[in-house]
Amino acid sequence: MTVADPSIFEPDGRAIRHVVDGEGDGPVLVLLPGRGLDITYLGTLAMVLEEEGFRVVRVGSRRTAAATMHDLAQDVIDVLDHLGFDDAWIGGHGFGGTIARTVALDHDDRVNGVLLLTVDGASAENDDVSGALPQDAEIAGMQAAALAATPEAEWATVAPNHPILIIQGADDPIAPPVNGEQLRATAPHLVSLTTIEGAGHLFVSTHAGETGFLIEDYLGMD
């Protein structure tokens, strides 16, 4: 296991914080944090996945204004380009999943699949962790504005060419399990859904081992 240090990618002053966990030629999996959250809290899950052979790229948010969700999606692709990765599974927790869905729609040829760690609704307010983790108000506000400026169909439509794995907590009051069930109903041939019993919104931290196993099992890394 490697202990990776965060790096800053600064195209046009965007200052996107990111970390690459893992080495070798395993599948590349991007993890995007929830609204206004730092990539640090995804570290335990990244460590679990690294031990199973994945290369995990945790990508934070820019601080400068983003006009729409398409700008935030482009940030992810720009980081992958900077790191030399041609394609990846794109995953996100909460609002990060909303960005992941936009990436899949905007950059079809760069995406192998989508991992949604909870399914957010149409309002960025749904991703408020209510003080459970430090939340950057400036970044959260920028992300909320980008979401509000983007027609829902441009991020919520299921990308037609990619499998989607949804993992959610049964006791999540912020992104309730019904969100995932409704998304699966729109494309049952593409969407797989697993609910972790006894888990809340931050299951990516509290149930990192179980979450990592579910991802590994789905992607056939055994």
Domain assignment present for 109? yes
Domain assignment present for 83? yes
Domain assignment present for 1? no
Domain that holds residue 206: 7-218
Per-residue model confidence (pLDDT) at position 12: 84
pLDDT digits (tens, 9 = 90+) for 106-154: 999 999 999 999 999 765 555 555 467 888 999 999 999 999 999 999 9
Q: What is the largest distance, in Å, between two alpha-carbon atoms of the chain?
A: 43
Q: Cβ atoms within 10 A of the Cβ of 77, count?
A: 18
Per-residue model confidence (pLDDT) at position 129: 57
Alpha carbons within 13 A on the beta-carbon side of 169: 19
Would strands 28-32 and 88-93 be described as parallel, antiparallel, or unpaired? Answer: parallel
The tally of domains found in the chain comes to: 1
pLDDT digits (tens, 9 = 90+) for 42-87: 999 999 999 999 999 999 999 887 789 999 999 999 999 999 999 9
Of the candidate ranges 121-125, 131-135, 196-200, 211-215, the one whose mean pLDDT is the lowest: 121-125
First to last CA, the chain: 17
Rounded CA separation 19/222 (Å): 24
Per-residue model confidence (pLDDT) at position 44: 96
Residue 197: which CATH number? 3.40.50.1820
Helices (H) and strands (E) in the chain, counts: 8, 8
Domain assignment present for 30? yes
Per-residue model confidence (pLDDT) at position 128: 57
**Residue 153 token pair:** 């169909």
